[in-house]
C-alpha cells in the first residue's frame, strides 16, 4: 500500500470493518484476474458468483459494499 491507500504492485487486499450499519468490505486490486474478484465475492456473500464476462485480462479495481 502506498501513502494514498493504493496498491503499489499486483495483488488484492480486502478490508473488513464493523460499523453502525453492519459489516462492510473494501477490496482493492491491481492487475488481478476477474476470477479473484468472483472468488472473493462468493466467499463474502456465501453464495456462488459466476464470471460470465468472457474477459481474460488483468484489471485494477476498487469495490466497497456492506454485508
CA 46 to chain centre: 15
Instruction: Give the burial string for 21-53 (b: 16+ CB within 10 Å, else e).
Output: eeeebebbbbebbbebbbebbeebeeeeeeeee
Q: What pLDDT does residue 60 have?
A: 94
Domain ranges of the chain: 11-66
Whether this prediction's pTM lies above 0.85 is answered by no
Say if residues 61 and 36 touch (Cβ distance below 8 Å).
no
Residues of the chain with pLDDT under 50: none
Alpha helices in 1-67 (DSSP H): 34-45
Amino acid at each position: 500500500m502506498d501513502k494514498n491507500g493504493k496498491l503499489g504492485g499486483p495483488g488484492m487486499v480486502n478490508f473488513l470493518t464493523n460499523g453502525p450499519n453492519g459489516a462492510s468490505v473494501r477490496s482493492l486490486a491491481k492487475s488481478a484476474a476477474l476470477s479473484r474478484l468472483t472468488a472473493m465475492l462468493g466467499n463474502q456473500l456465501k453464495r456462488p458468483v459466476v464470471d460470465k464476462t468472457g474477459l481474460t485480462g488483468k484489471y485494477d479495481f476498487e469495490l466497497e459494499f456492506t454485508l
